[in-house]
Structure 1
Amino acid sequence: MNAIDDDDGARRDILRAVGLMLCSAGAFACMAVTIRKASAELHPFEIAFFRNLFGMVFALPLLARHGWGLLRTTKLHLYFTRCLIGVVSMLCGFSAIVYLPLAQAVTLSYSTPLFVTIAAVLVLGEVVRARRWSAVAAGFVGVLLIVRPGTEGFSAMSLVALGAAVLSAGVAIGIKILSRTEKSDAIVLYTTLFWVPMSLVPALFVWTWPHGWTWLWIVGAGFLGTLGHMFWTRALKLGDASLLTPISFAQVPIVAVLGWALFGETVGPWTALGALVIFGSNAYIAHREATLARRAGPGTRTVAIAAADAPAADGPGRGTQAPPR
């Protein structure tokens, strides 16, 4: 009877995790829409600042819950470096959302796990075997299908989107290092506290005071970004990253539908094909890393799985994502 109850409980946890991850995908997709809406009046750099400002407001209850002791750390220099890389990634990601079709910008953000895998080998010395390298190579083929360098469909802004993904991978490595000694809520709170002044500096060079509906869009961006991260982290506490990472890719079709309905954007065949290839690559990498972590025993996690427990650079995707990625 207990075994049956345990199985029912596990199934409920899986269903809840899937539902939370879908909610996260929806929140991040809607955040991309609010960024695009706000860009009718504001520069992407200024939108990033307001997203961080209101995101900090929504994150402050963490301090009320844990007290000032949450901020006690000896790793302030690592927080600063991780946040500086993250804010540059965010500026690139927000620019991609504004100047590229939404589906293309979001899909390219999901290339972060490819760069995370490479960085984990170079920086952390993690071992990656032939099958995961093959998945990484396939993922880069998907990226090339979307970017299409040397063709009429190429846009220099797609390189900015890829830059955001590369920097987001650096953020994921920073999270991996910090998570060895720091609490997840401390990483979240320090991120918001650093990002506000860091993103204010470039915003001042393009400053325009928002008016009317624009206030709704920038407050919404802050709320939806924080909400998406909350859904994301709670989903990963209930389910395996190997199951949930592919589900997070639901953000791409959601944002594609929103882009078509609100901005008249269509998804070209090359973007759709590239998205499918990147999806398959990410799904295999997540599955393989989860399998290796289970074989290594309890408490052992690869960089991509560990990084998924805290927000990376908050670009088109979760930043990654994970991620995001």
Structure 2
Amino acid sequence: MPDNRSTQTYAASAASAPPVVAPRKPPAGPQRTGLGILLICATCLIFAIQDGFSRVLGAEYPPIFVVMLRYWAFMIFVLALVSRQPGGLRRAMRTTRPKTQVLRGIVLVVEVVFMVEAFVRLGLVETHAVFAACPMLVAALSGPVLGEKVGWRRWMAVGVGFAGILIILQPGGGVMQIESLLPFAAALMFALYGLLTRHVSRDDPAMVSFFWTAMSGGVAITLIGIWDWQWLAPVDWIWMAGLCLCATAGHYLMIRAYEVAEASALQPFAYTQLVWVTIIGVVAFGEHLRPNVVLGAVIVVAAGIFTLWRAQVKSA
């Protein structure tokens, strides 16, 4: 089954690309856990670089078009991956919840488009600072969506996290723009995607969900994005190749990370992507670290880590 703990890992890496699932129970041992942490940190670095590529391309081309090309590479990767699994493509296509699987794929691809648009309008730093609220949104929505009970501690963490978001957005300070809601909407959609993934995991194996994520999302974005087709400038093909290469490498390393270590041990380190995108945003794109963004991001991340920890305690 898909490891639904991995869908709650810091969602920024999933914003860059759909989250993978843990293929099997990893062997115990501190050395293996250390390797998994190393791999997840490398994954976050690669996804941060990918977000930089997305911002460059999204500023020159429609984000829907950029995401469409990226999803084509993702679909090829998934087809190659599932074809090597027992049962191959025929097994991966067999789902007991086709409507929910298709809905998952569509929700995720729209979320990725929102993120790329936010990268262009807000920058990498502020986008990821707000998007870090995703684990709290998962906790808040798990009750109405899945009927799960959320304890008062996690509700307090959700409230603290939203206070951090308000600090970042400064809604009463006269500086908030409608674009500032893009990463929050993306986080909300990814939280819904994660809960739908948990729902289908009750019946569908991991690779089935992974297959439907790529195929349904890829088909949906193609039906819309193909109308914005335009040939890339020669230099932009290099950026697009880097984008697709990062997506493939990031997925592979994340799969390896969840093969060698438990998801609960890796979750806190997935927040390192916020560090990497901050460095890339400041150095490569000249973004400014406003004090309210730094303070709000610290609050959101702390609340998110606490939320993930409480979820782990409850599942244990």
What TM-score, normalized to structure 2? 0.85
The separation in 2 between residues aligned to 1:293 and 1:73, in whole angstroms, is 26
Structure with more contact order per residue of length (Cα contacts < 8 Å, sep ≥ 6) = 2
The separation in 2 between residues aligned to 1:135 and 1:229, in whole angstroms, is 30
Q: Does the 8 Å CA contact 2:48/2:277 hold for their aligned counterparts?
A: yes
Residue of structure 2 equivalent to 1:244? 266
Gap change, CA 1:159 and 1:275, over 3 Å in 2: same
**Equivalent residues in 2 for 1:47-58 (5 A)?**
47-58=66-77
Structure 1 portions without partners, runs of 5+: 1-7, 295-325
The separation in 2 between residues aligned to 1:205 and 1:148, in whole angstroms, is 37
The separation in 1 between residues aligned to 2:156 and 2:263, in whole angstroms, is 20
Residue of structure 2 equivalent to 1:316? none
Residue of structure 2 equivalent to 1:306? none
The separation in 2 between residues aligned to 1:9 and 1:77, in whole angstroms, is 37
Q: Does the 8 Å CA contact 1:242/1:290 hold for their aligned counterparts?
A: yes
* Residue number among 281, 289, 294 corresponding to 1:259 in the alignment: 281
Residue of structure 2 equivalent to 1:22? 41
**Equivalent residues in 2 for 1:74-93 (5 A)?**
74-93=96-115
**Equivalent residues in 2 for 1:175-324 (5 A)?**
175-294=197-316
- CA RMSD across the alignment: 1.8
Give the counterpart letter for 2:131 in structure 1.
S
**Equivalent residues in 2 for 1:120-199 (5 A)?**
120-199=142-221
Q: Does the 8 Å CA contact 1:246/1:282 hold for their aligned counterparts?
A: no
**Equivalent residues in 2 for 1:103-114 (5 A)?**
103-114=125-136
Deviation at 1:161, TM superposition (A): 1.2
Q: Does the 8 Å CA contact 2:105/2:215 hold for their aligned counterparts?
A: no
Residue of structure 2 equivalent to 1:312? none
Q: Deviations over 1:181-238 (max 9, x none)?
A: 2222222222111122211233244332212121222232233234323333432344
The separation in 1 between residues aligned to 2:153 and 2:255, in whole angstroms, is 28
What TM-score, normalized to structure 1? 0.83
Task: Specify the SS of the correspondent of 1:142.
Answer: helix
> Which has the larger displacement, 246-255 or 218-227?
218-227
The separation in 1 between residues aligned to 2:313 and 2:127, in whole angstroms, is 30
Structure 2 portions without partners, runs of 5+: 1-26
Gap change, CA 1:76 and 1:223, over 3 Å in 2: farther
The separation in 2 between residues aligned to 1:230 and 1:174, in whole angstroms, is 23
The separation in 2 between residues aligned to 1:105 and 1:130, in whole angstroms, is 28
The separation in 2 between residues aligned to 1:129 and 1:73, in whole angstroms, is 33
Gap change, CA 1:62 and 1:15, over 3 Å in 2: same
The separation in 1 between residues aligned to 2:104 and 2:308, in whole angstroms, is 23
Percent identical pairs in the alignment equals 26
Residue of structure 2 equivalent to 1:64? 83
Deviation at 1:114, TM superposition (A): 1.3
The separation in 1 between residues aligned to 2:28 and 2:142, in whole angstroms, is 35
